[in-house]
Amino acid sequence: MNERLRTSVASLELAHPVMNASGVLGYLPEHVDIMVSWGVSAVVSKTFTKEPRRGYDPPIIVKLGYGSLLNAVGLPNPGIEGLKPFAEAVKSRGLPLIVSVGGFSIQEYLNVSVAAEESGADAIELNMSCPHVKGGGLEFGRDPSIAFQLVKNVASTVKIPVIVKLGISDKLLETSSKVLEAGSKALTLINTVRAMSIDVFSFKPYLSNVFGGLSGKSIHPIAVWATYVVFHETSADIIGAGGVFTWRDAAELILAGARAVQVGTALVYRGSNVVKNISAGLCRWLRDIGARSISELVGASHKS
């Protein structure tokens, strides 16, 4: 990998800026070889909760016609007992592991975070923005005071870096500032956006859960905006997520202030080589504009 692509976020050293987004694969050991084959610079797990979750009944994913997905999977995972075997599989491949942590109370987030650290995670990503699970996630991320308490509890207990994944809300800037104040070392911006789709012949919503989270190309400009405004106000380490299909999408987020990016829906639409293609495109971009490293371009649009 080209040395000019090296970057760091939340004290994690990465060979290049492109990792997977939580939610595609990532809670069973047998998933690891597939994820590593994508060429990611770090492995991000699916969200783990304290107890096992079965998830929602199908249909849980709708492939939309404009490079987007609508999903309500329900955070299926084996619970904290599944953390250690998954972490061991990732560590055996020599990549940093970021464990996505979910919960329905501050104590549950704390329990899962501690278990993730004990299992060997290099960082945790607090999922405070899942739009389709009632009682958790989104509710925590929308209330700056609760978000502060949650992150304060976790960051003061674990030694590994805490990353907070936030979605779109009218208090995005306030919440971002509060979780950074509480000890978050980085932010992942953004998560899927609450949405729904209806079958015009059956008159019924496509998803069994009725509504879900919209991802892919349709939310990319929102992710660029969120990254830009939060970086402008906080200068935080940011992982940009939302509709990253090409190197241009990744470059936009980097110029807006992201130090790394996550790819999710593009793996469904563009296939398993999309991460490698994005990294190769970023190399060509650096060469074409005469930049020495990706790091010098982080937030460069704020200086133009």
Give start and end residues of each alpha helix (H) in 31-171.
32-37, 83-91, 106-119, 138-142, 144-155
Radius of gyration of the chain (CA): 18
Conformational region of residue 297, where left means phi above 0, alpha means psi within -120 to 50, and beta covers everything else: alpha
What DSSP state is assigned to residue 47? P
Helix (H, G, I), strand (E, B) or coil at 79: coil
For 195, the 3-state DSSP assignment is: strand
Q: Catalytic residue at 283?
A: no
Q: Give the span between the Cα atoms of 194 and 183, in whole angstroms.
A: 27
Question: Could you give phi then psi for residue 264, rounded to 5 degrees?
Answer: -135, -75
Q: Which of 44, 130, 160, 180 is catalytic?
A: 130
Tokens standing for 196?
A: 């729904």
Structure tokens belonging to residue 40: 């990611």
Instruction: Provide the terminal-to-terminal Cα distance of the chain, rounded to the nearest Å.
Output: 29
Pairing status of strand 238-241 against strand 186-189: parallel
CA distances from 173 to 144, 178, 298 (A): 9, 9, 19
Question: Which residue bears the tokens 């990549």?
Answer: 95
Ramachandran class of 227: left when φ > 0, alpha when ψ lies in -120 to 50, beta otherwise = alpha
Token pair belonging to 276:
């490698």
Strand, helix or coil for residue 148: helix
Q: Which residues are catalytic?
A: 130
